[in-house]
Amino acid sequence: MTRQEWESLCDGCGQCCLLKLEDEDDGTIYLTKLSCSMLDVRTCRCSDYAKRHELMPDCVSITPEKVRTLNWLPHTCAYRLVEEGRDLAWWHPLVSGDTDMVHAAGISVRSEARSEEEVHEDDYGHYIIGEVSE
């Protein structure tokens, strides 16, 4: 798969750009509905994808080698689906031919996410939406 083909697999849901919080006592990782400050919540796209690692050192690159180790990727993520040998969903842009379908189907974070910039760090816990599971 070429780099371009790999990149085209991303459905643009923005779910991987939601903040994760780790419980220091037991290592549990919680998912929040707060998004990385670089995520444009309206488009669900990174505001500077080319420079993301420079501007946001914590940003994780999703590569074919890493996918199976990234347990926080959502079950809808195309990279995860391909890794598990499953088909892309009907709303995926490569299937539907429509990049807006991921939003219309309610898969993207557009209607739920709030930028981390708008919330004080002490309040992050109020935005937990669940535990990250395998």
Residues 107, 11 contacting (CB under 8 angstroms): yes
What is the spatial distance between Cα 87 and Cα 44, in angstroms, rounded to a whole number? 23
What is the spatial distance between Cα 132 and Cα 122, in angstroms, rounded to a whole number? 21
In order of 7, 8, 47, 65, 85, the CA distances from 1 in angstroms are 10, 11, 26, 13, 15
For ligand SF4, the closer of residues 5 and 26 by Cβ is 5
Q: Considering CB under 6 A, how many residues would be counted as binding ligand SF4? A: 21
11 lies in the site for ligand SF4, by CB under 6 A: yes
Restricting to residues 61-80, name those near ligand SF4 by CB under 6 A: 62, 73-74, 77-79
**Beta carbon of residue 93, minimum distance to ligand SF4 (angstroms, whole number):** 10
For ligand SF4, the closer of residues 25 and 35 by Cβ is 35
For ligand SF4, the closer of residues 25 and 50 by Cβ is 50
Restricting to residues 24-53, name those near ligand SF4 by CB under 6 A: 36, 38-39, 46, 52
**Beta carbon of residue 9, minimum distance to ligand SF4 (angstroms, whole number):** 7
Helices (H), 48-104: 52-55, 78-83, 93-96, 101-104
Check the CA dihedral 65-66-69-73 and report its sign: negative
Residues lying near ligand SF4 in the complex (CB under 6 A): 10-17, 36, 38-39, 46, 52, 56, 59, 62, 73-74, 77-79
